[in-house]
A and B are shown apart, each in its own frame.
Chain A
């Protein structure tokens, strides 16, 4: 079970409150849980979020969206890199944020 925290605007779009809990199947029993797998599972459960976190055409993180976990900024981590063990174990949430920017 992976815990995901969405920013307020995306909670509204997904019509959820609080954390989202996702079953994220790893490619193999011993395979790592990655950012890509988490976001794939999130978009699969909430199709309205397709294109709001990652660009629809390239799959890249949108420029003003950030990913944090375990007090680390994972925004620029490769999408197939394993997430921290505490995230994979559900002990810590994977946090999606709108970056601080004017407007």
Chain B
């Protein structure tokens, strides 16, 4: 029977959650790398047993781990994330220039076709690629050397490259997002980059038409409609129908247009999910009610999904990489919270239940369908 594996990165280790296609009963394995921050854990679409994990610690730095058996065993692979050539400078919080300084990998995006090819997004923002299963990493330097680079400034969580989308139709097209520089697109496999932030409105920036400086939290794309993108920004939920060239706000009737994750239904490209939270400083659900909001119209009109979610005294957050969908029918939706709960819906969001309640704070969630 077809199964599902959920890959969970937390503040204190990695966990895998597995179930059959009913998604009723779950087996929880972990922690792997107990005590380490696992910013992201992701699997190869071409080989579901090939997993990669980004492991970091304030004491001992960061490593990349790889599993070839679906997460049962792991081995550290290459970890040399050198900024190629002249390091250069970006802006610091106080407006002064500061050299790029590698801190950790936030996001790992394996190729759709090749288990040995993986893209990695770093803090301070840079894009790396490996083509040998993680042994050697090469920086795609055109991004960091973009003419706007010296003007990039970190967001509150650092200057992190947190979103990487490999376009399923255009093999050389890559989207990415950086806090707080904005969104970028490459049409030549990373050899050059175009800021795609037109239409974003960020009140904190004096020039609202600024090419960069926007705090993009996450971007998602449906494989059958690759030119349509959805974005959760620091404030505002946004939509583009021209591969990011222009954006328009689709926050509509959301109770708060602030949040971190955004996901699209695997079979319905106009059905999207967000988790609104209150303001940019409180970072918890409005009224202490944890609600996923779903739009079936590609934005503007939103409905709260509450069945099975705590509707009182809930003050957790859901981080940018902590929501995922599986490709079964009916679709499964998953998210993890900073309170350590991982929730699942096996009916497209209508009803929810916790898979596990007491993990460390969840940093990332990915879903795999197993043969």
Judge whether A9 and B79 touch: CB under 8 Å. Answer: no
- Give chain A's interface residues, CB within 8 Å of chain B: 7, 9-10, 13, 48, 50-53, 55-57, 62, 64-65, 98-99, 101, 103
Judge whether B59 and A64 touch: CB under 8 Å. Answer: yes
Q: How far is the CA of A7 from the CA of B57 in the complex (A)?
A: 13
Q: How far is the CA of A51 from the CA of B79 in the complex (A)?
A: 8
Q: How far is the CA of A99 from the CA of B63 in the complex (A)?
A: 19
Judge whether B58 and A48 touch: CB under 8 Å. Answer: no
Judge whether B59 and A65 touch: CB under 8 Å. Answer: yes
Residues of chain B from 56 to 84 with CB closer than 8 A to chain A in the complex: 57-63, 76, 79-80, 82
Q: Which residue of B lies closest to A50 (CB)?
A: B79
User: Top 4 nearest A-B pairs by Cβ distance?
Assistant: A52-B60, A98-B59, A64-B59, A48-B76
Judge whether B82 and A48 touch: CB under 8 Å. Answer: no
B interface secondary structure, majority = loop
Judge whether B61 and A13 touch: CB under 8 Å. Answer: no
A interface secondary structure, majority = loop
Q: How far is the CA of A51 from the CA of B102 in the complex (A)?
A: 12
* Contacting residue for B80 out of A48, A53, A56, CB 8 A: A56
With known contacts A13-B76, A56-B80, A57-B82, A51–B61 Cβ distance under 8 A: yes
**Cβ–Cβ < 8 Å partners of B82 in chain A:** 56-57
Judge whether B63 and A98 touch: CB under 8 Å. Answer: no
5 of the cross-chain contacts (CB-CB < 8 Å) are: A50-B79, A51-B79, A56-B61, A56-B79, A101-B59
Judge whether A99 and B59 touch: CB under 8 Å. Answer: yes
B35 located at the interface, meaning its Cβ lies under 8 Å from any Cβ of chain A in the complex: yes
How many positions in chain B have a CB within 8 Å of any CB in the partner chain?
Answer: 14
B36 located at the interface, meaning its Cβ lies under 8 Å from any Cβ of chain A in the complex: yes
Judge whether A98 and B76 touch: CB under 8 Å. Answer: no
Judge whether A62 and B76 touch: CB under 8 Å. Answer: no
**Cβ–Cβ < 8 Å partners of B62 in chain A:** 51
Q: Which residue of B lies closest to A54 (CB)?
A: B61
* 11 other A-B residue contacts (CB within 8 Å) besides A56-B79, A98-B59: A9-B57, A48-B63, A48-B76, A51-B80, A52-B63, A57-B82, A57-B102, A62-B59, A64-B59, A98-B60, A99-B59
**Cβ–Cβ < 8 Å partners of A55 in chain B:** 61
Q: Which residue among A7, A9, A53, A99 has the maximum number of chain B CB atoms within 10 Å of its CB? A: A9
The smallest C-beta distance from A11 to any residue of chain B, in angstroms, reads 12
The smallest C-beta distance from B31 to any residue of chain A, in angstroms, reads 12
Judge whether B36 and A9 touch: CB under 8 Å. Answer: yes
Q: How far is the CA of A7 from the CA of B36 in the complex (A)?
A: 14
**Cβ–Cβ < 8 Å partners of A103 in chain B:** 58
Judge whether B58 and A64 touch: CB under 8 Å. Answer: yes
Q: Which residue of A lies closest to B37 (CB)?
A: A103
**Cβ–Cβ < 8 Å partners of A50 in chain B:** 79
Judge whether B79 and A65 touch: CB under 8 Å. Answer: no
Q: Which residue of B lies closest to A14 (CB)?
A: B76
Q: Which residue of A lies closest to B102 (CB)?
A: A57
Q: How far is the CA of A48 from the CA of B74 in the complex (A)?
A: 13
The smallest C-beta distance from B37 to any residue of chain A, in angstroms, reads 9
Judge whether B60 and A9 touch: CB under 8 Å. Answer: yes
Judge whether A52 and B58 touch: CB under 8 Å. Answer: no
